[in-house]
C-alpha cells in the first residue's frame, strides 16, 4: 500500500459516495481483468483439467508418463540448466554494466545505454537468423578468424551454447533497465560517505549497494527465469535436436506425435515451475516499503 493518503476528494462529485468507492474501481479494472480471465485463466485452467481428468476420472497418469520418459525428463533438466546458466550469465554481464550506467555520465555512457537497449528492438526470429550468419559455421566471425589464419573455430550453432548466447542477448535490456533503476535508489550521498571513510570499491559495493538492490536482483532473477524457461523460437532454431527445451518439446509432442494431452502436461509442468518463481517475485514486491509494482 502506498504511504501517501489515498482519500479521494468527495466534493465536486455527482455520484453517491458508496457507488464511487465500491463500484467505480472495479468498473475501471474490469476490462483487462476480464480479458485476462477469458484468455489466460480459463484456457490455462482448462489445460490443467485436461491433463488430470482423463476418461471421466481424476488421474496423474500423464505426469507419471512424463517423469518415466528419459527423453522428457532430460528435456526438463536441460531447460533448468539453460535457464540457470542464462540468468547467471545475465547477472555477470548486467551487473557491471548497470553499475557503470548508474555512475557514468556523458556521451560514452549514452552510447553504451543505447547499445544495451538495442536488443529490445530485435525479435527472436531475426536474432536467430543473424546469429546463424554471424557466429554459425563459416559465418562472419569464423570467416574473420580464417582470414587471419585461425582455423578450427567451433560454432555454438545447434548446441546448448547457441541457445544460451541468444537468450542472454535478448534479456540484456530488461536486466540492465531494472538493475539500473534499482541502483538509482542508492543515494549518491551514501556512497560518498562510504568513500570518505575509506571503503574500497568492493566494500562499497558489497556492504552498501548490494543490500539496497536485493529487491531489484530478485525481480531480475524471477522475471528472467519466467521469460527464459518457456522460450521457443531461439531454442528451436539454434539448439540441438536432443535434448530440447520445454517450449520446443511441447510443440513437438503436439504437432508430431499428435499427443495433445502430453503437450499440455508439459505446459502445465512449465507453468508450475514459473508459478513457483512468480511467488518469489510477488513476495519480494509485496514486502517492499511502498507496496508497488
Partner 1 sequence: MTADVLVSSLADGRAPRRAPALARTLVRQAPGVFFLVFLAIIVIGPMLSVVLWAFAETWWYPALVPNTWGLKYWGETLARADIRSALPLSIGLAAAVTALSAAICLPAAYAFARLRFPFRQPLLLSFLATNAFPRFGLYVSIAVVFFKLDLVGTLQGVALIQLVNTLLLMIWIPTSAFQGVDRALEEAALDVGASRLRVFIQITLPMVLPALSAALLLTFVSTFYEAQGALIIGIPRVVTMPVLMYSIINSQVIVQYGAVISLILWLPSFVLLGLVQRFVRGGTMAAGFGV
Partner 2 sequence: MSSTVAKAALRLGLVSALGLAACAPTTPAPTALPAATQAPEVSVINFVTDSDTNISDWIQNKVAPAFEAKYPQYDVQVTIVRGVGGGSGDVADRALAALQSNADPQVDVIEFDATSKPELIEAGLWQKLDSTTVPNASTLLSGIQTSEYSLPYRGSQVVLAYDSSKISEDEVPHTFAELVEWIKTNPGQFVYCRPDKGGSGGNFVTRAIYEVTGQDPSLFEKGTPNPDLVSQFPKAWDLLSEIHPAIFDNGAYPAGNTAVLTLLANGSVSMATAWSDQALQGLANGSLPPNIKLTQLTDLPFPGGNARLSVPRNSRNLQGALDFVNYLMGTDGQVSVVKDIGGFPAANWNTLPQELQQEYTTVIAETVPLWPGGDWDALKNQGWYENVATNIPMGS
Rule CB under 8 A: say whether 203 interacts with partner 1.
yes
DSSP 290: S
Using CB under 8 A, which residues numbered 39 to 78 contact partner 2? Answer: 68-71, 74
**Number of chain residues interacting with partner 2 (CB under 8 A):** 27
Minimum distance between the CB of residue 74 and partner 2, rounded to whole angstroms? 6
* Cell numbers standing for residue 261: 494431452
Burial class (CB in 10 A: 0-12, 13-18, 19+), 12: exposed
Binding mask 61-100 for partner 1 (x = CB under 8 A): -----------------------------------xx--x
Q: What are the beta bridge partners of residue 237?
A: none
**Number of chain residues interacting with partner 1 (CB under 8 A):** 125
Using CB under 8 A, which residues numbered 136 to 155 contact partner 2? Answer: 136-139, 154-155
Using CB under 8 A, which residues numbered 179 to 238 contact partner 2? Answer: 236-237
283 binds, among partner 2, partner 1, none (CB under 5 to 8 A by kind): none
Residues 155 and 139: beta-carbon distance below 8 Å:
yes
90 binds, among partner 1, partner 2, none (CB under 5 to 8 A by kind): none
Burial class (CB in 10 A: 0-12, 13-18, 19+), 280: middle
Which of 19, 36, 84, 150: binder of partner 1 (CB under 8 A)?
A: 36
10 binds, among partner 1, partner 2, none (CB under 5 to 8 A by kind): none
Residues contacting residue 109 through CB under 8 Å, at least 6 positions apart: 100, 101
Please confirm whether the linkage preceding 243 is cis (ω < 30° from 0). Answer: yes
* Separation CA 233–CA 248 (nearest Å): 8
Q: Which residues contact partner 2 (rule: CB under 8 A)?
A: 68-71, 74, 132, 136-139, 154-155, 157-159, 236-237, 240-243, 252, 255-258, 260
Amino acid at each position: 500500500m502506498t504511504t501517501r493518503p489515498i482519500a479521494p476528494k468527495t466534493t465536486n462529485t455527482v455520484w453517491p459516495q458508496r457507488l464511487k468507492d465500491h463500484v467505480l474501481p472495479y468498473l475501471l479494472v474490469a476490462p483487462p481483468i476480464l480479458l485476462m480471465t477469458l484468455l489466460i485463466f480459463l484456457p490455462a485452467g482448462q489445460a490443467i483439467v485436461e491433463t488430470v481428468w482423463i476418461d471421466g476420472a481424476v488421474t496423474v497418469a500423464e505426469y507419471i508418463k512424463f517423469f518415466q520418459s528419459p527423453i522428457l525428463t532430460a528435456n526438463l533438466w536441460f531447460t533448468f540448466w539453460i535457464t540457470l546458466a542464462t540468468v547467471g550469465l545475465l547477472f555477470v554481464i548486467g551487473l557491471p554494466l548497470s553499475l557503470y550506467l548508474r555512475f557514468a555520465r556523458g556521451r560514452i555512457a549514452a552510447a553504451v545505454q543505447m547499445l544495451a537497449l538495442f536488443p529490445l528492438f530485435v525479435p527472436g526470429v531475426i536474432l536467430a537468423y543473424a546469429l546463424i550468419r554471424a557466429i554459425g559455421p563459416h559465418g562472419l566471425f569464423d570467416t574473420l578468424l580464417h582470414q587471419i589464419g585461425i582455423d578450427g573455430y567451433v560454432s555454438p550453432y545447434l548446441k546448448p551454447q547457441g541457445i544460451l548466447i541468444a537468450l542472454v542477448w535478448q534479456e540484456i535490456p530488461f536486466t540492465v533497465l531494472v538493475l539500473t533503476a534499482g541502483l538509482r535508489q542508492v543515494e549518491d550521498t551514501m556512497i560518498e560517505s562510504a568513500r570518505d571513510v575509506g571503503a574500497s570499491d568492493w566494500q562499497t559495493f558489497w556492504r552498501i549497494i548490494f543490500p539496497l538492490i536485493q529487491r531489484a536482483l530478485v525481480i531480475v532473477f524471477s522475471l528472467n527465469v519466467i521469460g527464459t524457461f518457456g522460450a521457443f523460437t531461439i531454442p528451436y532454431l539454434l539448439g540441438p535436436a536432443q535434448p530440447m527445451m520445454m517450449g520446443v518439446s511441447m510443440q513437438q509432442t503436439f504437432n508430431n506425435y499428435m499427443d495433445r494431452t502430453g503437450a499440455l502436461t508439459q505446459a502445465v509442468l512449465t507453468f508450475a515451475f514459473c508459478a513457483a518463481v512468480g511467488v518469489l517475485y510477488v513476495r519480494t514486491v509485496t514486502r517492499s516499503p511502498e507496496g508497488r509494482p
